[in-house]
Amino acid sequence: MEIPDLYGELKDNDFQKIGSFIYKNYGINLYPKKKVLLKSRLQKRLKHLGISSYSDYRDYLFNNKEEIIHMIDKISTNKTDFFREAVHFEYLEGIIKNGFANNLDNNELLVWSAGCSSGQEAYSLAMTIDNLKSEIGYKYRIFASDISLSVLKTAKEAIYPFNLLNQIPLVFRKKYLLKSKDKTNPRFRIVKELRDNTEFSFYNLLSKDAFSKLKFNIIFCRNTLIYFDTETQIKVMHNLIRHLKKGGLLFLGHSESIINMGLPLETVHPSVYEKK
């Protein structure tokens, strides 16, 4: 359905220039069929800024770095769940029990949740790893990143609606969740210990300056590559691999493929890869 022209027409030329800029810098492809969606999502932003047309907004966007972040926030996709594709967490638990976390640098397991959305994946990792901490005897830190400031805010607060509770295994609900006493707005929060071990930050997967020289034992980047074309996927994969330790594991979504990319990775489990 066509969006009313409250701010005039989003001209093809403006749409193409905005789309080209976003693709070049963030790898997100705004296909022509997304023009109506973009127009709809930008209307509130134009109203907030007091800008009267999409052409004026285009000029404002290209001359204001902070606005670029707001723009990306409007167009990014943020689909996630606790323990999504649960077989990955089962596999992770198994390899840690079988010695993967032995001989860590500084006895610390470093994990990156890349494209973390509102934090459910990062906290699922934290629960899985923390639950084995006393048994294995190691420290851990989880770094989580996304390009959407709004979902990062939710992730840092770690407060979620009660209807998500059933996504979390019962043993973890008892150990790692704080339940709200407000029956009119039932919610739960991740316990402080897990929050303290999980750091959220803004990061563009096409950037090469993530985390300085930090290298990870485990990287989860699942159901993110599907939003990129092949050229962008290869760039993202090289950036991820650059931050993965030799012998470290990269977890991708089950629907994602890296066949014929020529990467230094070996499949060790469905959609799990070891850096050689």
* Residue 178: band (very low, low, confident or very high) from pLDDT cuts 50, 70, 90: very high
* pLDDT tens column, 134-145: 888 889 999 999
Q: In the CATH scheme, what architecture does the domain 12-75 have?
A: Orthogonal Bundle (1.10)
Q: What is the pLDDT of residue 2?
A: 47
List every span in the chain annotated with CATH 1.10.155.10: 12-75
* pLDDT tens column, 208-224: 776 667 899 999 999 99
pTM for this entry: 0.90
Catalytic residue among 41, 45, 84, 187: 41
List every span in the chain annotated with CATH 3.40.50.150: 87-275
Identify whether 146 is a catalytic site residue. Answer: yes
Q: What is the pLDDT of residue 174?
A: 94
Backbone angles phi and psi of 252, in degrees to 5: -110, 170
Identify whether 105 is a catalytic site residue. Answer: no
Q: What is the pLDDT of residue 210?
A: 62
Q: In the CATH scheme, what architecture does the domain 87-275 have?
A: 3-Layer(aba) Sandwich (3.40)
- For 27, the token pair is 């790898």
Residues 6 or more apart in contact with residue 102 via CB below 8 angstroms: 136
Catalytic residue among 14, 146, 195, 222: 146
